[in-house]
Amino acid sequence: MEYLKDPRAIEEKSFDIIKKGIEKNLYSDEELEVVKRVVHATADFEFARLIKFSNGAVEAGIKAIKAGWSIVTDTRMARAGIKRELAKSFGVRVRCYSSSKEAEKMARERNITRAMAAIILSSYETENKIFVIGNAPTALFKLNELIREGKVYPALVVGVPVGFVGAKESKEELVELPVPSIVVQGCKGGTPVAVAIINALLSLAERRDEVE
Please tell me whether residue 189 binds its own copies under the rule CB under 8 A: yes
Contact between residue 183 and residue 168 where contact means Cβ atoms under 8 Å apart: no
- 130 or 167, CB closer to its own copies? 167
Please tell me whether residue 164 binds its own copies under the rule CB under 8 A: yes
CA dihedral 128, 130, 133, 139 (to 10 degrees): 10
Tell me the C-alpha distance between 134 and 161, whole Å: 4
Q: List the one residue from 26, 33, 40, 185 that touches its own copies (CB under 8 A).
A: 40
Burial environment of residue 93 by CB neighbours within 10 A (0 to 12, 13 to 18, 19 or more): middle
**Residues contacting its own copies: total by CB under 8 A:** 48
Q: List the one residue from 30, 31, 74, 173 that touches its own copies (CB under 8 A).
A: 173
Least separation, in Å, of the C-beta of 165 and its own copies?
5
Please tell me whether residue 19 binds its own copies under the rule CB under 8 A: no
Helix (H) or strand (E) holding 129, with range, is: strand 129-133
Please tell me whether residue 44 binds its own copies under the rule CB under 8 A: yes
Q: Which amino acid is at 102?
A: E
Q: Which residues carry out catalysis?
A: 40
Q: How many CA atoms lie within 13 A of 35 on its CB side?
A: 23
Within 90-132, residue ranges assigned H as helices are 101-110, 114-123
Least separation, in Å, of the C-beta of 79 and its own copies?
7
Residues 61-120 that bind its own copies (CB under 8 A): 75-77, 79-81, 107, 111-113, 116
Strand 94-96 to strand 181-184: parallel, antiparallel, or no bridges (unpaired)?
unpaired
- 113 or 122, CB closer to its own copies? 113
Contact between residue 137 and residue 166 where contact means Cβ atoms under 8 Å apart: yes
**Maximum Cα–Cα distance across the chain:** 58
Please tell me whether residue 10 binds its own copies under the rule CB under 8 A: yes
The number of beta carbons lying within 10 Å of the beta carbon of residue 150 is: 7
Give the binding range for its own copies (CB under 8 A) out of 50-58, 122-130, 181-189, 198-206. 181-189
Least separation, in Å, of the C-beta of 63 and its own copies?
26
- 8 or 211, CB closer to its own copies? 8
The footprint of its own copies (CB under 8 A) covers 1, 3-7, 10, 13-14, 17-18, 40-44, 75-77, 79-81, 107, 111-113, 116, 137-138, 141, 144, 162-167, 169-170, 173, 186-192, 195
